[in-house]
Structure 1
Amino acid sequence: MDKLKRVLSGQEAEEPGPLAEAIDATSLSWGTRLKAFIACFAIGVLCSILGTCLLWIPRKGLILFAVFYTLGNISSLGSTIFLMGPMKQLKRMFEPTRLIATIVMLLCLILTLCSAFWWHNKGLALIFCILQFFALAWYSISYIPFARDAVKKCAAACLT
């Protein structure tokens, strides 16, 4: 039946290759994509909340906060892959309008984990978490038309 549809629609009458068959076999339905997005985003939010709760633990609280907060942001950011697909997500992340925001955001994510695991520096972990928040916010508003301009004008008005 698929072959008949291809012939009638003017597409090639040849059988699809193994790559096309693999892509069709691994593609998810819209409902499954939406459920995976919600689950991944919820895991990200829960990790961030858990990290905030762990902040108040006396000895390793700040390090645990940095790790869970970062993992939550990675999970929340990764959840959009289910909506757009991995290649489209990567292309949109590295478009010229959000290239710097993406690089700063990814750098802050990496530096937060480095300061928590290898450098064992609580102060740096906290600074990178704060920078991570602002970098992720700036990256996120890049998807809203004219949002960056509005934020810049609002900041300029507040500073003058």
Structure 2
Amino acid sequence: MTHGPKYEPSAAEKIFAWPIDMTLASFTPGSGFGPRRIMGTPPGEFEDHFALDIGAPSGTPVYAPADAVVDVARPDGEGEAGGGNQVWLRHKDWLTGYFHLRDAPLVSEGDVIPAGTLIGYVGSTGNAGGDHLCWHTQLTRGGQALAMNPRQVMRDYGRS
């Protein structure tokens, strides 16, 4: 099987910054993107986790990683089962989600916000086993949506 050349994003496509201060971040086994064991189930049962769990102290600020329109700003108990307080941001060709925020979102649906806008604080609302930010990144082009590993997104589409 042959593959074409690897796609290299242009400088204009490199729009993202990390949503929290990564000097405060920690990662634990099972917190990454992809299959992971479901807590409380027999060995061998897994679920797909289309996000990256970034451990950080409660109250750590969470910022918009790029210019965006607030697509969803939802308090705990509404919508996504277990996601707690959450925000979804729409960027040019991307949709990003921020789950388990400590308090109700600090932005409202329809807000147009620049990169670096404070959207909430790390917490453990919803179905969370501790304080962390669950960060979802999804490429949306041509009517298609593809969940992508946030670490890969930052490697390929992160601002220098």
TM-score range, shorter chain: under 0.3
TM-score (norm 2): 0.26
Q: Which has the higher strand share?
A: 2
Larger radius of gyration: 1
TM-score (norm 1): 0.26
